Structure 1
């Protein structure tokens, strides 16, 4: 373990300086129990000190119980637990707007896990993915990369979304991101002025709502009905509107074609931008998907955002955005200034995964499994007269509203999310959001039995 020690100006007590800095490193936890220190001769040479000076500091730490010498092995931090010192609390405070930004409490994992947004990692072809990533690592690509992303991946993504979602985009229109959340962050940095009004769906995707608020935007919730966002309720001052039209999150209903046309007309009249998040729409079990807003847009006012978190794995952090050409340079610059670029081997592996047809094959296989889980849960929700299921034919979750007077009590072993989590404070909509990506099919019946037992009321 290399230890950084800085000696003060002047002669002073050099052994005491070495002692104090090593002691600080141990107490702070930078040197952990069991770690080996450099030999006294080596450390003395690096510090340009006599060996006796360093040995004196070591001996004092051994006498105090912080170090232990092992014959023929060296000197180690004591195996006895050392209580780390807390960092100073400090007086620096974040900007006031951060005081009101706090994500909802996470639902902890449980044996019967109905949390939303979790794909089944067991369905992912991990061996194939390891092979592709290993191949890219062996290629030994080094140096900085294009902030817009690996060129073959941008080309593969443009083909994939063109075929599967009818999105009109070429490789130059695509910017690869670390998930959809970074895509939204880049859009916000480039387009949203502090204090500007951004309209979001209600109920809606809280990570987007909090992100826009963190950028200084005035976020206004707009109600969603059976056809999608209520365009007439969007504030006239809104400069941007964030929507999930293909599979509204969390309700699951698609935006009607008439409502899509009305939203595009609103954006044209108001000189506003539409951020279209194609949330969770890869897995479809019934209806033919409607045209995305991006493909219906004729004025260049739609930014299309997508992610591979559900089709692949959330930990891979792979997403993208498709923007009008007028925004391309600014978005690329914003990406470069935030983290320069993403992880090149992973991007290159995904390009191969798409080009070799492996992504399409994986989606087909996963869709069959998710369709079976979807059907089991939909049937159970429809059979319970305390619930009013919201029809949905895609995605990895289902939503049901609670009949007035019905409440939910926590049940041991059951993880389920409440619809209120996705609503602005003060406007609750009692209901449940049940994901089926994180629970095996054979566990669903018992999980639903626990859920039914947790409902109280009429």
Structure 2
């Protein structure tokens, strides 16, 4: 039979063939029992290799879309009837708990490839084109060699010794963190580090204080453990320490680059925060998510380096310096909670995947991470400068920048009233992604402003995007 398949170009031939065959089977265009052409014949018809055809047939056979009959050929399998499961979550004994999770808002979720905009000022994302693919590929090959020599057992929950050592040396050099290898716990991103610390320190009703505005995924995470989250207002020096209530067990802050406003916490405020936490018997989580990129002034020491009592848990991530998809982060923990967090880590996922751990350990040890940070620093500095220049010139009638010296996002506050939903929708129509800061406020009255991430947008696209923003503001503001 003549099988209708269209191959476009010479890229991902197996993927094109697989998608078209599977779609034809699922839609019923290829009915159950239909015999497919022999691999040699189809290869000749499509002008691709027989191995590509055979591999695709094998994959679809493995997934039960096709079946092979020895001596006869390859046939379309009968698809099982779809089972309609009618029971709703409301019918379950745990309906109230399920509904509480279903109703949680979604914050900072990155769009899929299909849903992304041409000019996107999204925060927390980097330009994938800057990622050192060749260095990472070589380090991954090293990781595979290391794994081939292992016994195949589960690894340590706290992380591979080689990576813990590499992290300890890196952050001591780059951020002045005071730690040893044994203080490091490797996690699946910073979010897991927050989850583990929260698990061992909070119980239903326990108080957690955090900046307001602040990082919504952290607030929602603490709340999911039953904690009562208190939003503490932020001023030009950082979190207002005197407003942290009695009974607080955990204090979450972003002192080097306050999220989302970007302001650094002053030295006096840091000392006051350490003293307040000690009085309360609380642990401070210092989320140092992107401060390795600093553009002005002397680098500020980490809050952890000022801690003389062992009350600061320092949390970091490689999602910002490398790629979010790697899901690698870490926590530098004080002795009081270190063993408890390691036990919690072991219970939740046993350990983080060892392949990327081995690769990252090699990547850091060979100096690839520092080289990558230096290269990206130059790029991000140029993007940041361009946004600041525009905010001070043709965008100045409507917007002003909040002072910020680190990271790869800034906030532009509105000077005039603005219909934010209309602005965001009009921007989408011209392929510009804008992100209001309103959702980052919790108990404080929100202000109108835009989180302007410049990690993912290309340098040459910034002026084009800001021109479109200016044109929209001239219409609606």
Q: TM-score range by the shorter chain?
A: 0.7 to 0.9
**Which residue of structure 2 lines up, in the alignment, with residue 201 of structure 1?**
211
SS of equivalent to 1:417: coil
TM-score by length of 2: 0.79
Cα shift at 1:67: 9.0
8 Å CA contact 1:399–1:432 kept in 2: the answer is yes
Structure 2 CA distance for aligned equivalents of residues 426 and 261 of structure 1:
24
Structure 1 CA distance for aligned equivalents of residues 445 and 82 of structure 2:
44
Structure 2 CA distance for aligned equivalents of residues 36 and 215 of structure 1:
53
SS of equivalent to 2:439: helix
Structure 2 CA distance for aligned equivalents of residues 386 and 303 of structure 1:
40
Deviation string, structure 1 residues 286-315 (Cα, Å, up to 9, x no partner) = 122222111111111111000000111000
Larger mean CA deviation between 242-251 and 319-328 belongs to 319-328
Q: Structure 1 residues 231, 407: closer, same or farther in 2, change over 3 A? A: same
Deviation string, structure 1 residues 177-200 (Cα, Å, up to 9, x no partner) = 000000000000111111101011
SS of equivalent to 1:300: coil
8 Å CA contact 2:212–2:444 kept in 1: the answer is no
Say whether 1:230 aligns with 2:248: no
8 Å CA contact 1:107–1:417 kept in 2: the answer is no
Structure 2 CA distance for aligned equivalents of residues 313 and 343 of structure 1:
16
Give unmatched runs, 5+ long, in structure 2: 1-25, 35-64
Q: Structure 1 residues 77, 174: closer, same or farther in 2, change over 3 A? A: same
8 Å CA contact 1:305–1:321 kept in 2: the answer is yes
**Which residue of structure 2 lines up, in the alignment, with residue 438 of structure 1?**
456
Q: Which has the larger radius of gyration?
A: 1
Question: Which of 118, 138, 151 is the aligned partner of 1:131?
Answer: 138
8 Å CA contact 2:233–2:444 kept in 1: the answer is no
8 Å CA contact 1:245–1:254 kept in 2: the answer is yes
Cα shift at 1:94: 4.8
**Which residue of structure 1 lines up, in the alignment, with residue 106 of structure 2?**
103
**Which residue of structure 2 lines up, in the alignment, with residue 120 of structure 1?**
127
Q: Structure 1 residues 69, 136: closer, same or farther in 2, change over 3 A? A: closer
Q: Kindly report which structure 2 residues correspond to 1:26-425, keeping only aligned pairs within 5 A, or say none.
A: 72-77=72-77, 84-90=82-88, 91-92=91-92, 93-95=95-97, 97-98=100-101, 101-104=104-107, 106=109, 108=111, 109-139=116-146, 140=148, 141=150, 142-383=152-393, 384-408=396-420, 409=423, 410=425, 411=427, 412=429, 413-424=431-442
Deviation string, structure 1 residues 387-409 (Cα, Å, up to 9, x no partner) = 12101121111101111413341
8 Å CA contact 2:107–2:217 kept in 1: the answer is no
Q: Structure 1 residues 270, 100: closer, same or farther in 2, change over 3 A? A: farther
Give unmatched runs, 5+ long, in structure 1: 1-28, 38-65
Cα shift at 1:340: 0.2
TM-score by length of 1: 0.82
Indicate the RMSD between aligned Cα atoms, in angstroms. Answer: 2.6
Tell me the number of residue pairs that the alignment of Structure 1 and Structure 2 aligns: 399
SS of equivalent to 2:211: strand
Cα shift at 1:426: 7.5
Larger mean CA deviation between 263-272 and 426-435 belongs to 426-435
